[in-house]
Amino acid sequence: MATLNSSWVHGVAEHITIDHVGHHGDGVNVDRPPVYVPFALPGEIVDAEVGDGRCRLVQIEQPSPERIDPFCSYFTRCGGCAIQHWQPTPYQAWKRQIVIDTLQQAGIDSAVDPLIDAHGAGRRRVTLHARYKASNIQVGFTEAASHAIVPIDSCPILDPALGGALNAARAIAELLEPMAKPLDIQVTAADNGLDIDVRGSGPISTALISKLSALAAEHKLARLTRHGELVLMRAPPVLTIGPARVTLPPGSFLQATMAGEDALAALVLQHCKGAKVIADLFCGIGPFALRLAVKAKVHAIDNDATAIASLQQAIKDTKGLKPVKAETRDLFRRPLVAQELRDIDAVVFDPPRAGAQAQAERLAASKVPLVVAVSCNVQTFARDAKILIDGGYRLHGVTPVDQFRHTPHIELVARFTR
C-alpha cells in the first residue's frame, strides 16, 4: 500500500488488529489507545507505522474476506476517496451506521432508513488544483491531509460529461504558468457544456485574458470565468431543474451528482405532499423550490445574491408554476421568526455543513406544522434536530443518501411534525 501522505515522518511499526471502520473511513483498533489505520478493514491484522499522531498502513498480514481491489490507480495517494477496497454491502451498512451512531450520541431515538445510492453517472462538478514546481506543472487533487498535489490523467468517479475537464484545466494551468500562483479550477458539467471558474491567479494582463478566451473557444467551453468575472461565454451554462432551465452563476453550488439532487428532491416532495405554502430556506438556485412550485406557493431564501438572481430569472421563464418569491437574506444573521412563519404550511431547510442552529431555534419557537431538514453533515443535523425535538417537534425518521460514494460524507433528509 502507498503511504497516506508524502510528508510522512516514519514511526515505529506495530502489529494491529482492526476492530471496526471509524466515521472518517479509517480502520480502528480497540485494545489500546485508539489507532486509526487508513485503508484497513474490520477483522484485518495489519502492520502499521504510528508516529506524530498519524498512521501509515505498511502491510496487511491477514486480509478481510470483504476486501476488494480498488478500481482507481490513484487510490491511497489521492485524497478524494477513502474507501474503494470494501465490498458494497458492508460499506453501505457502515455508512448508514454512522447516522445511527451520531443520532444516538445526541440522544435522538429515530428510525434510519436503508441507504439510498445516489452516485448515478458520477460527480458533475469538480475542483482541480494546479501547482508549479520548478518547470513542472501539476494538475490534480490533493493528497489526504496534505496540500501536496497528486497529478491525475483520469478520475473514474466523474460523470462522463466532465470528460474534457482535465484537458481544459491543464491548458489553463499552462497558459497561466507565468503567474506562478496556485490555482483552483472549478469545473461544472452543465447541460450544454463545461462551465469553468478559475481562482487564485490574481490580476492578469489583457493579453493573457485574450489567450484565455481563445483557449475557452478551442475547448468548446460553455463559459470561462476568472474569480467570477467573465472571460468568454459561448452560451450561458444551463441546468434543467424540474420544469425549469436555470442559468448557473459562476462557481455555483450544486449537489455533487444529478442522481443525488433527484433523490433528495424526491424525498422533499414526498414529505411536503399536500402543503400549500412552503418556505425553502438556503434554497440555492432552486433544486427544491422549482420542483415544489409545481403544486405549492413557495418562498425561497438564500444569502447568495447571484443564486437568487438565477432563480428569479428561471421563475420568470418557466410556465405553470405557482407563485414563487425568491429573496436574498442571510439566514444565519436574520433567520425567519415565528411571526414570518405564521402562514407557512411547511419549511424545507438545506444549510451548508455548519448547519442552521439559529433558524432551528426560531422554528422550534414557531407553530409551523411540518419541517423537512436536508443536511450534508450528520453532526450539525443532530444538533439542529435536537433543538426542534426539544421545541416540541416529533422526528418521523431519517433517510441517508449516498451521492459521495467511496467517502465518509453522507446527505440525509428528515421529516418533523408538530
Is pLDDT at 308 greater than 60 in this prediction?
Answer: yes
| pLDDT, tens only, 209-259 | 999 999 999 999 999 999 999 999 999 999 999 999 999 999 889 999 999
Task: Name the residue type at position 252.
Answer: S
Residue with cell 482535465: 166
376 is catalytic: yes
Q: What is the pLDDT of residues 73-84, one digit of tens each?
A: 999 999 999 999
Cell triple for 181: 500562483
CB 413 within 8 A of CB 395: no
DSSP state of 123: B
Task: Assess whether pLDDT exceeds 80 at residue 54.
Answer: no
pTM score of the predicted model: 0.94
Which pLDDT score, from 0 to 100, does residue 6 have?
A: 37
Q: Residue 10: what pLDDT?
A: 55
pLDDT band at 2 (very low <50, low <70, confident <90, very high): very low
- HSE of 373, CA atoms in CB hemisphere, 13 A: 36
Per-residue pLDDT at 53:
58
Amino acid 52: pLDDT: 66
Give tens-digit pLDDT for 107-117. Answer: 999 999 999 99
Say what percent of the chain tops pLDDT 90: 89
**What pLDDT score does 126 carry?**
96
Largest Cα–Cα distance in the chain? 67
Q: Please, which pLDDT band fits residue 294 given cuts at 50, 70 and 90?
A: very high
Which residues are CB-contacts of 196 (< 8 A; sequence separation ≥ 6)? 165, 168, 169, 172, 185, 186, 187, 188, 216, 221, 223, 224, 225
The confidence band for 4, taking pLDDT boundaries of 50, 70 and 90, is: very low
For residue 358, what pLDDT band results from cuts at 50, 70 and 90? very high
Mean pLDDT over the full length of the chain: 94
* 365 CB neighbour count, 10 Å cutoff: 13
State the average pLDDT over residues 285-290.
Answer: 98
Q: Which of 282, 350, 289, 296 is nearest to 315 (CA)?
A: 289
pLDDT tier at 11, thresholds 50, 70, 90: low
**Confidence (pLDDT) at 13:** 79
What DSSP letter does each residue of 82-94 carry, written as one string? S-SSB-HHHHHHH
pLDDT in the model for residue 251: 86
Half-sphere exposure for 355 (CA within 13 Å, toward CB): 16
Q: Which long-range contacts (CB under 8 A, 24 or more apart) does 176-182 make?
A: 176/130, 176/201, 176/204, 176/208, 176/212, 177/132, 177/137, 178/208, 179/204, 180/132, 182/129, 182/130, 182/131, 182/132
**Residue 128: which of 117, 143, 141, 118 has the closest Cα?**
141
Task: Give the containing element (helix H, strand E) for 359.
Answer: helix 357-364
- Cα distance between residue 193 and residue 165, in whole Å: 10
CA-to-CA separations, 406 to 21, 76, 79, 122, 331, in angstroms, rounded: 13, 12, 11, 11, 32
Q: What is the pLDDT of residue 118?
A: 98
Question: Does 99 score more than 60 pLDDT?
Answer: yes
- Average pLDDT estimate for 353-361: 97
State residue 17's pLDDT score: 94
Give, in order, the Cα–Cα distances in Å from 44 to each of 23, 72, 87, 88, 129: 17, 22, 14, 17, 35
Element (H, E) at 101: helix 88-105
Mean pLDDT of all residues in 36-64:
90
Q: Using an 8 Å Cβ cutoff, are 143 and 150 in contact? A: yes
The 10 Å CB-count burial string (b at 16+, else e) for 39-60 is bbbbbbebebbbeeebbbbbeb
Q: From CA 97, how far away is CA 180, in angstroms rounded?
A: 45
Please name each of the domains of the chain with its CATH number.
Answer: 12-67 (2.40.50.140), 96-119+254-417 (3.40.50.150), 125-239 (2.40.50.1070)
Strand-by-strand arrangement of the 36-37 sheet: 20-21, 27-28, 36-37
